[in-house]
Amino acid sequence: MEIKHSTSEPASPGTEQFFSGRVRVAPLFSGTEPSRMSCACVTFDPSARSAWHTHPCGQTLIVTAGHGFVQAWDGPIREIRPGDVVWTPPGEKHWHGAAADSAMSHIAIQEARDGKVVDWMEKVTDDEYAKAGKV
């Protein structure tokens, strides 16, 4: 059994290449073989968001605070709030982030395939994000 204390790995800023706005990523755990699972708490300031991306084994998000949005490629923008659980299937292109008037935090859980948990793509444009304000 292992206990990992919350102060053992501090949050780091989300890289500008993969996020728009201020984002903090706090790793919670990375599984030990044979597990391929990893988990982080991601906090988005108002209007901050991820770039478009996919996960080779899918991803589960558990919203813990605030108000935000998720969208699958060619799908509707959907609101997310505390307690919501979002499942994104393997390979589905999507983004997630905070509403313009609220920060948002979620726990992100994903598995690695061949050592990779995410494939990053282009950033969500301001015009694409502005459509979230009309939801």
**Residue with tokens 């959907």, as numbered in its chain:** 78
Query: Given this model, what pLDDT does residue 53 score?
Result: 98
Q: Is residue 8 part of a domain?
A: no
Number of domains observed in the structure of the chain:
1
Query: Given this model, what pLDDT does residue 76 score?
Result: 96
pTM for the complete prediction?
0.92
Q: Is residue 1 part of a domain?
A: no
Query: Given this model, what pLDDT does residue 7 score?
Result: 65
Alpha-carbon distance values, 99 to 11, 46, 55, 91, 132 (Å): 21, 6, 23, 25, 8
User: What is the CATH classification number for the domain harbouring 100?
Assistant: 2.60.120.10
**Residue with tokens 């996020």, as numbered in its chain:** 19
pLDDT in tens, the chain (135 residues): 877 776 667 889 999 999 999 999 999 988 878 888 999 999 999 999 999 999 999 999 999 999 999 999 999 999 999 999 999 999 999 999 999 999 999 999 999 999 899 999 999 999 999 988 776
Q: Is residue 4 part of a domain?
A: no
Count of Cβ atoms closer than 10 Å to residue 56 Cβ: 17
Residue 130: partners with Cβ closer than 8 Å, 6 or more residues away: none
Which domain, by its residues, includes 66?
13-134
Q: Is residue 7 part of a domain?
A: no
**Residues 49 and 124: beta-carbon distance below 8 Å:** yes
Phi, psi of 48 (to 5 degrees): -75, 150
DSSP code string of 49-75: EEPSEE-TT-EEEEEEEE-EEEEETTS
Q: Is residue 112 part of a domain?
A: yes
Helices (H), 4-125: none
Query: Given this model, what pLDDT does residue 9 score?
Result: 73
pLDDT in tens, 106-122: 999 999 999 899 999 99
Q: Is residue 48 part of a domain?
A: yes
Query: Given this model, what pLDDT does residue 5 score?
Result: 75
Q: Is residue 5 part of a domain?
A: no
**Residues 28 and 60: beta-carbon distance below 8 Å:** no
